[in-house]
Structure 1
Amino acid sequence: MTAIDLRPVRVSISPARRLTQLLAGLVLYGASMAMMTRARLGLDPWDVLHEGITKRTGLTFGTVVGIASVAVLLLWIPLRQRPGLGTVLNVLVISVVVDLVRAMLPDQQVLGWRITLLIAGILLNAVATAVYVGARLGPGPRDGLMTGLAARTGWSVRLVRTGIEVTALAAGWLLGGTVGVGTILYALAIGPLTQALLPHVAWRESR
């Protein structure tokens, strides 16, 4: 798993522009999740868990994403992590957008379209991740859990992230979530793609 380079390349001059970037990134992220779920060729570890819970409960995918995000935020309390504006908006925006896009985008039956949706979804997910992380207005719930555990245990972020995602993947698979070629492709591609894109959209505070 490739570490993400967070070194900034631009000077922040407008909080409004950073907020706009954050919202754009979160909307794109929700759309990319919807695209990958409709491809039905395998999901990223957390979405395997979300889909598994959706199948077991009958709740919408976005509702499960929101509930799971709140549950993860509760785990921040003993880790003494503090949410930012981006953290709160992450929960609200993504859970709403993923359901809206899924409603407009039916399941695909033709394999060629499913492959197209998967690849486009992964690429869009990388762009979205770089855009919303680059706004630097607070980590997402799962990112905060990862960094908080790493700080508390002294383990590397890579090791903690791997442990969390393997756990989510295993639990989701047992619940009936979709594991497939898309899961592998996402794991291999998302780190390098996000790392390549992030320096072009990350902000830093002016001094």
Structure 2
Amino acid sequence: MVLTHPNLTMPSHHSEALLTDSELIHTFVEGFVQGRPVLLSNANLRTEPLFGSMQLIDNKEGLISTANLAQAPISAKIRPISAYWGVLHNAMTAQSFYPLAKNEQSDCYVYRYCAPSENHEMHCTTAKELWRVCWGRGYSVRSGISLDLMVWGQGSASQRQKWHALRGMECVNGQLVIKILGGTLQVDSHDLVVWARQVSHSRLSASQQDNDRSRPRAGMRGYLPLRN
């Protein structure tokens, strides 16, 4: 079960000697999505509950992630330069938590819950990879035809917290420009972007079971539907 609202309880303890780095990270993520602080440590990593949040700390490099458990919807800031980022990112996206914003001051991505709709599949790639998908499939902004791709807004305040139909992409002055209806989003090629692709009915049945596992209950706070 995924909770997108605070559910603070007393921290739970786990056997420290048996946890590998990967197991500790996955347990940290499980505690986060359930709104349950956990106390964990091994030779390389540890977690520390702190003022309505929970931190994941590399014993050598310092803070990796801060999971907010006190405010709805719950979210987690993650440093992408950490050596453990890949494992942590995969564990978060497996629970339908995606980097929906970037904190420019701390250079952290902010992960929030976002489940796919029945006819879309979610993706999180670099902007450069999305550009390859867009142009590799022969899409042209000049056609005036809506694409079957949607992208999560990461531009100005009015463009954030919203899905946009992706109309095309181009490179301008070293930055990638994502064209959306009524405007554009500018991103660096290495920035992470969250996007969704419409799938055919033949592919829906294969992924329906996974989608059902991540579907929130009606009224659950933090749900970010694909259609606004």
- Structure of higher RCO (CA pairs closer than 8 Å, 6+ residues apart): 1
Q: Relative to total residues, which structure has the larger helix share, 1 or 2? A: 1
TM-score by length of 2: 0.22
TM-score by length of 1: 0.24
